[in-house]
Amino acid sequence: MADRQATISDARKTACQIVAALKQAGHVAYFAGGCVRDELLGFEPADYDIATDAVPERVCSLFENTVQVGAAFGVVLVRLNRVSIEVATFRSDGSYSDSRRPDSVRFSDEVSDARRRDFTINGLYLDPSAGDVNQLVDGGVEGGGGGQVIDHVGGVADLQARLVRAVGKAEDRLGEDHLRALRGVRLSARLGFEIESETARAIRDHASELVGVSRERIGTEIRRMLEHESCVKAISRIEGLGLDEPVLNEVHQESQLKHLSEVADKDQVGLKLAGWALDRHVLDGEASLVELSGRWRSALCLSNADRDTLVSTLRIHAALRDEASWLEWPVAQQKRLASDSLFRDVVKLIRVTNSALAGRICECYRSLCSMRSGLCPEPWVTGGDLMGFGLESGPRFSQVLEEVYDAQLEERVADRAQALELVKQLCVKDDDSQ
């Protein structure tokens, strides 16, 4: 994988150098996998991988800076020109008794190596030192960079047809590693491809077997789907193929994903999860919100940040949905909620089911923003000011800060001097009550 400071072109040049060195030493060596697929589609690969007939010990002897990162699988990390490239020995895999990794591997030839891969479009090789490679863009063909494609599994045809197809027998490929079902969905959505019918059938047939995959691996795949702009298509396929039941640990259903679509262009995974939750569930009260967020956190191994965003979004949604309550809140409370970073996105979610309510909320929001004090002004009174009045840290300390800031938000005090006078009055009141 290329270092962050290295450009993709630097990574390709380095990968070409490594291929050339292996060839000069008498070995077969190609670019392999996703980098070939991406180049043929006209994309810049995120990184470059190399497949070769050289065994790991031989690879290590040919390059000065190497690390065997997957000795059992013949993978060596070669570091050259401040770029790290994975170099893997051609191999064939044994059985997958744990439905994750092969029980055994043996070093083999390029054909066997291609046939053990998951999907045909990931099973292509490219020799960068021979011929001219064509880029397959939007199903057509146009001239591209240097290299010759080696295709033992029909990957080029599937690129042209815009299909994600399992290598060989789909039942076998999906049965070997159950996470391939989610990878296939993510790949098809990201590329805008369809899933080939037999591969889709195998995904459905093996859907229930996802329950045996670690929740962390499942969560990582779902997160990667949600991070991409194609998340609506990916989640739609998750539901359409029956993968939502084992992924979320809840009853299968297919939803219209209107809420998710409203926030599909956002960065926060937790916000998109909230949209998906609203598409699937009617959340009635705090108890159901807490139950769902806890279940999804366990099912997807959510980070604290993603869990907190999910919960906050759903809570703000519940507050805004109760129009009679929110529009009658005190101004300070309205401003606090309206200044939350998630507020505008939640209004978009409200608009999905109640555009009139969303309009009234927006009108109220504009009114709050137009007040002389603004929506979220800097506090005139700080903790240091309170300590100057002799207040000690504790519950009352925070309460006084909040009361004075509420007065500022509601324009009951006009400046810092009046705010400090209010602090003084509150302190005197506290002394009188003791």
pLDDT digits 0-9 by tens, 110-156: 999 999 999 999 999 999 987 555 555 444 333 345 689 999 999 99
How high is the pLDDT of residue 144?
A: 40
Q: Within 10 A of 214 (CB to CB), how many other CB atoms are there?
A: 11
- Mean of the per-residue pLDDT values for the chain? 90
- Residue 3: pLDDT band (50, 70, 90) is very low
* Among 378, 322, 399, 329, residue whose Cα is nearest residue 337: 329
How high is the pLDDT of residue 322?
A: 79
Mark 74-96 as b/e (b = at least 16 C-beta within 10 Å): bbbbbebeebbbbbbbbbbbeee
Pairwise pLDDT comparison (423 vs 140), residue with the higher score: 423
Q: Are 361 and 347 contacting, i.e. CB atoms less than 8 angstroms apart? A: yes
Helix (H, G, I), strand (E, B) or coil at 88: strand
Cα(388)–Cα(315) distance, rounded to whole angstroms?
A: 37
Q: Is the pTM above the cut of 0.85?
A: yes
* Among 160, 36, 165, residue whose Cα is nearest residue 173: 165
Question: Pairing mode, if any, of strands 163-164 and 194-195?
Answer: parallel
Domains of the chain: 1-161 (3.30.460.10), 167-254 (1.10.110.30), 269-369 (no CATH), 383-433 (no CATH)
How high is the pLDDT of residue 1?
A: 37
pLDDT at 310 over 50: yes
pLDDT at 343 over 60: yes
Instruction: For residues 385-408, give the mean pLDDT.
Output: 91
What DSSP line would sit under 197-220, residue for residue? HHHHHHHHHTGGGGGGS-HHHHHH
Q: Are 100 and 177 contacting, i.e. CB atoms less than 8 angstroms apart? A: yes
> Crossing angle of helices 395-409/331-338, nearest 10°?
90
